[in-house]
Amino acid sequence: MGQTPKHLKETPSQTAGPYVHIGCTPNFCGIPGVYSQDLGAAMVNDRTKGPRITIVGCVRAGAGTVLRDAMVEIWQADAKGHYPLPPATPDTSDTPETSGDADPHFTGWGRCPTDMDTGAFRFDTIRPGPVPHRAGGLMAPHISVWIVARGINLGLHTRMYFPDEAKANAADPFLSRIEDADRAATLLAGSEGDGVYRFDIRLQGDGETIFLDV
């Protein structure tokens, strides 16, 4: 006669690869017909408001080697600092963060697998505006970044800030809590000119990127 368990155990975590690309980016994997283009491949169109920027980078392991099977996603506000959200319901007040104020021609979300040869990723997007912080004030313009790859059981979450926002960065509620300037620097992109920003992600070792427990 079996016994009823007194508690349930946590399901063991599993590595994300090598099938994550097949399910998330089938066109990239050479599997046509699932989507006309992979989800998250295009964030802007010719009517999107705001200055265009390009984010490039790669994901590096602790030894400095480039991961060629990673996938990177980003979330961000539009040029006015509004996130695309579902429409407000009749019994909720309209706020600057509802979809009615967000740019309807901007997705706010992108997904890019790293190149199989170079390990590089690229996002063509817009420069985000500052967004309100729940405790008051504004957060510096930033982009949330999520990384997954074979061998990473739980996706890693970090942020990318802009190097030419010194005043806003100094007042940012999150950045201002980081006492080690060298560690804070891992969240700053590098400017390559003409609206191109480089954001390399280091998983371990010297220069390890700060990751958020969310």
Domains and CATH numbers, the chain: 35-202 (2.60.130.10)
What's the chain's average pLDDT? Answer: 88
- Backbone torsions φ then ψ of 18, nearest 5 degrees: -90, 10
What local confidence, expressed as pLDDT, does residue 20 receive?
78
Provide the pLDDT confidence category of residue 194 given band limits of 50, 70 and 90. Answer: very high
What average pLDDT does the segment 125-145 reach? 94
User: 166 near 29, Cβ under 8 Å?
Assistant: no
Question: CA-to-CA distance for 143 and 133, rounded, in angstroms?
Answer: 14
Provide the pLDDT confidence category of residue 1 given band limits of 50, 70 and 90. Answer: low
Torsion of CA 47, 57, 66, 109, to 10 degrees: -40
Of 76, 184, 65, 198, the closest CA to residue 128 belongs to 76
Q: Which of 90-94, 196-200, 203-207 has the lowest mean pLDDT?
A: 90-94
pLDDT over threshold 50, residue 98: no
Provide the pLDDT confidence category of residue 92 given band limits of 50, 70 and 90. Answer: very low
Provide the pLDDT confidence category of residue 91 given band limits of 50, 70 and 90. Answer: very low
pLDDT over threshold 70, residue 87: no
Provide the pLDDT confidence category of residue 17 given band limits of 50, 70 and 90. Answer: low
User: 165 versus 23: which is more confidently predicted?
Assistant: 165
User: 202 versus 97: which is more confidently predicted?
Assistant: 202
The string of pLDDT tens digits covering residues 37-78 is: 999 999 999 999 999 999 999 999 988 899 998 999 999 999
The string of pLDDT tens digits covering residues 137-186 is: 899 999 999 999 887 878 999 999 999 999 999 999 999 999 998 999 99
CA distance between the termini of the chain: 42
Counting residues of the chain whose pLDDT is more than 70, the rounded percentage is 86
What's the Cα-to-Cα distance from 47 to each of 35, 106, 201, rounded to whole Å?
23, 9, 31
Q: Which of 91-105, 117-131, 185-199 has the lowest mean pLDDT?
A: 91-105
What local confidence, expressed as pLDDT, does residue 175 receive?
94
What local confidence, expressed as pLDDT, does residue 86 receive?
63
What local confidence, expressed as pLDDT, does residue 8 receive?
74
Q: Where are the beta strands (DSSP E) in 13-171?
A: 52-60, 71-75, 109-113, 120-126, 131-132, 138-139, 142-148, 156-161
